A and B are shown apart, each in its own frame.
Chain A
Amino acid sequence: MSRRAAFPALLAVLAMLPAPLALAQARPCPPGTRVLRQDAAGSLLPAASRVTLPGGMHLDGIGVGAREIELRLSSPDGFRCTASLVAPDRPGAATHRRWLALAPSGDPRCRDAGDLLLAAIDDALPGSPWVECRADVPATEALALPAGSGTSRPLVLAVGALGLLLAGIGLVAAIVLSFRREED
């Protein structure tokens, strides 16, 4: 690589710095976040397996992660999909119940089966399956869902202004350049 190419490459690498920094900061179950109780899994499968799913769909298994419950589904024609149950305050949930919500799914068969399983599982839960992470609580295995705000309002406004400013500069520059004579 030539020296002239090295400088922009270095810039690009520097631009990527926030990513590894963020990854380095990622700790399992940091205080102020919440995760699913792993012991909730025991009551889920019996409740879910009683549900008759539409279109011959079959529940192959349930996985309880830190932030979502994964429902693995299949049908006799070989169709397979996974529906995810998440926290009800997660934006964009397709449907929600007391403790859980169905994450959006593009496939109607998966969504319909997920809807029914969501109802059965939510009804079967004796209480909230979510547990707050505290400093004195040992970390769970997986990463946690951020439970609250961490962004200051001025920063949000500044970032919003930056996006609008860049778009505005782009528009003005494109029009100005269009009316300039081509150099070549």
Chain B
Amino acid sequence: MNPASRSKASLVLALAAGGCIMAWRMGGPEPALWLDTIGDQKLVTDCLDAGHCRFEGMHASVPGIRVATGWATARTLLDHLGISPTQVHQGINVLEGLVVPLAGLAGLEVAGPGAALLSALASGLLLHQLDLQHGVLYNSRPVPFAGALFLLLALQAVRRRSVLALVLASTMAAVTANVHPVNGFLGLSAIGCGLLFPARRLRMAGLALAAFAIALFAGAPWMWVANLRLLFVEGGFRPHGAQGGDILTGDLLPWMAVGMAGVACLVLRPGRDPSRRRDAAAVLATLAPMALVFLASVLTRAVPMSDKYLAALVGPIALALGWPAAQAFGALLDRTALRTRLQALPPRLRNAAVIAGPWAVAAAIALMPADPRVPRGSGGYVGPATLTLPDVSALADRLRDLPGWGQARLFRALGHPAAGDILAFLQLLPPLPDVPDDPDDRARLLVLKVPGDRVPATLPAGWFEVRRRGGMALVAAPIDGWIDWHRFKACSLPPPSPGDDGCRDLRYVPDPDAPSPVPLGMPVLPSGTPATLQLRLDLRVPPAPAEHVVVLPPIAGLCPGRVVEVEGARHEMSGDGTRVRLLGAGADGSDGRMTVRWDLDGRPDQTCFYDGFPPLLLEGTPEEVDTLLAMLARTRVAAGGAP
């Protein structure tokens, strides 16, 4: 290997190390329990276990459009090869980390080490800015990698007049489009790069189109057939006026605008090297189609827009920022004669700087602040202790070893903010015993993920630690409850219509027609606007003197609730209704009722999660509840405050 290649390899290695550490810190070692992941896994399981392979694609936020067939088929293959979702997640962490060296290589390709390092640094920053849920395994995760790879191939195609690179770039654009159709605009970018081939413009553009189209249809035939049917037979996609309109998140937009302006300057003012105009035009070609469509969609309010749709442009935007910045920095060095002074340094010192520079940048990228927690969104419960897929698998393994925990009992007894998601994922694992739920059983199984150092050395009788990972412990607490969850009355307030008080007498059983577990008849309440869920619960108070505590803990991400009324049972209630002490009635004991209300999305500063299951409510003996609250201490919030 010659010195230039050694230096290049050292740079790539450093940036890859920095990028992968950063991506690992952002993504975490295990994928979060999340609606999209559960849906993907259901497709995979249905195909591999039941032979029901449905790969016409999933529905997108624009009505009728189907997406992600390429993602689903790849996930199915990997599952078939025995690669678990957690391993796929870890692999995607690595791919996300490779965006940094790919952006660096692209910078190196067009403008040398300075542009490489600045582009790599910019790619790390942009990955943090992007509205991507790094802790979740879903189809948008590999897109930044695919986009950065496309950029590098496209540049190589134009700079080296490489037909192979052009075909591979076009193919990469198709693979990315099969993960999400919005990336299909990369196909236009590939054609644009073909047009930059000197003397063979049309031929190369046609070749790019052919490679793109063939790979597109070969990779997701059912999805594109469905989308084309929608487009040509059913009257088009019908973007619904202002249905989407809003920019949901747009942190990348200013960077994209600055980058495009910078590269446009390079196109218009190529300086002493005319080949720079061609390189800049190639970068602009990779950026412009998607960027312009995105901006047009924002301006016309045609579809909902989030900068996650720009995930494929992380690499191109990073280069568009890094290259002009390196140019400007170089001009500054020349103007201040600093370059001459630097060149006058002893060769040993200069060599050391050349080697240390990339590692210093890599260290800066690796140490960028990363929060692996899942950001707040509509895909599932988001709290300080979001469960991961292996958490649920471990819980299922432990429950299979315990007598009496069948599917029906767990459906009624499970207490966790994301009970619906846990039960949905459990359906994809080897089943729990199918035993009927005992109507006299009042047991609850509270499942909490808490900091490991908050778990007492000795847990109350019957409780157990399911697993411990990354400083967090998953604790299962079977509780002998006083609340009878078999039957209750649920009301949505205010009533939905004058003739309907919004109340239903319900049994806590699964809705047989719902595709995923949800209690039959529970109110479907709108998200995003204040609404109230009220449950009227029967209490089974034991005749013997006893004490029982019910607490509605203020946990981040959880809808705030309070007890508004207790009837027929001796009790003491706190002023704010978040804690009730129930007293066994002795020999003349009788049952009672308790009315609880939850404000859904009622907090002024944040929304909360409600998925059709009764929100989390803690109960138990005073000692049990104190233990639960002590474990939850760091996850609780002051009223209306931050965690």
Contacts and interface: CB of A to CB of B under 8 A. Distances in A.
B48 to A, nearest CB: 7
Nearest to A99: B513
Contacts of B460: none
Interface of A: 1-2, 4-5, 7-9, 11-12, 14-16, 18-19, 22-23, 26, 50-52, 54-55, 68, 79-84, 86, 88-99, 103-108, 110-113, 115-116, 118-120, 142-143, 146, 148-153, 155-157, 159-164, 166-167, 169-171, 173-175, 177-180, 182-184
B29 interface: no
13 contacts: A5-B203, A8-B209, A15-B210, A106-B61, A118-B524, A151-B222, A159-B70, A164-B74, A166-B168, A166-B175, A178-B109, A178-B156, A182-B159
B8 A178 contact: yes
Interface string B200-223: 101111110110011111111110
B220 A115 contact: no
Contact of A106 (B73, B162, B200, B246): B246
B59 A91 contact: yes
A153 B54 CA distance: 10
A92 B19 CA distance: 32
A178 B225 contact: no
B524 A115 contact: yes
B55 interface: yes
Contacts of A1: 202
A19 B243 contact: no
A106 B526 contact: no
B172 A167 contact: yes
Contacts of A178: 8, 12, 105, 108-109, 152, 156
A136 B98 CA distance: 56
A15 B527 contact: no
A115 B526 contact: yes
Given A26-B233, A173-B165, A92 B58 contact: yes
A183 B63 CA distance: 48
Nearest to B238: A82
B183 interface: no
Nearest to A28: B233
A51 B524 CA distance: 14
Contacts, number: 266
Given A106-B61, A146-B54, A146-B56, 19 more contacts: A4-B200, A8-B207, A15-B214, A18-B224, A22-B229, A68-B63, A81-B240, A88-B513, A89-B515, A98-B511, A99-B513, A105-B61, A106-B245, A107-B246, A110-B243, A116-B526, A142-B234, A163-B219, A184-B159
B604 interface: no
Nearest to B152: A174
A5 B587 CA distance: 96
Nearest to B512: A98
Contacts of B12: 175, 178
B236 interface: no
Contacts of B246: 106-107
B367 interface: no
Contact of A119 (B149, B206, B221, B524): B524
Contact of A177 (B165, B229, B305, B529): B165
A112 B529 contact: yes
Contacts of B232: 23
Contacts of A89: 515
Given A95-B524, A149-B52, A81 B242 contact: yes
A2 B243 contact: no
A19 B58 contact: no
Q: For the complex of A and B, list the 7 residue pairs with the smallest distance between their C-beta atoms, beginning with the closest.
A: A106-B304, A8-B206, A160-B77, A112-B526, A15-B213, A160-B73, A11-B210
B271 interface: no
B295 interface: no
Given A54-B526, A81-B242, A153 B172 contact: no
B228 A156 contact: no
A166 B48 CA distance: 23
Given A4-B200, A112-B526, A82 B149 contact: no
B248 A106 contact: yes
B528 interface: yes
Nearest to A180: B160
B1 to A, nearest CB: 9
Contacts of B207: 8, 11
Contact of B43 (A14, A91, A148, A183): A91
B528 to A, nearest CB: 4
B63 A103 contact: yes
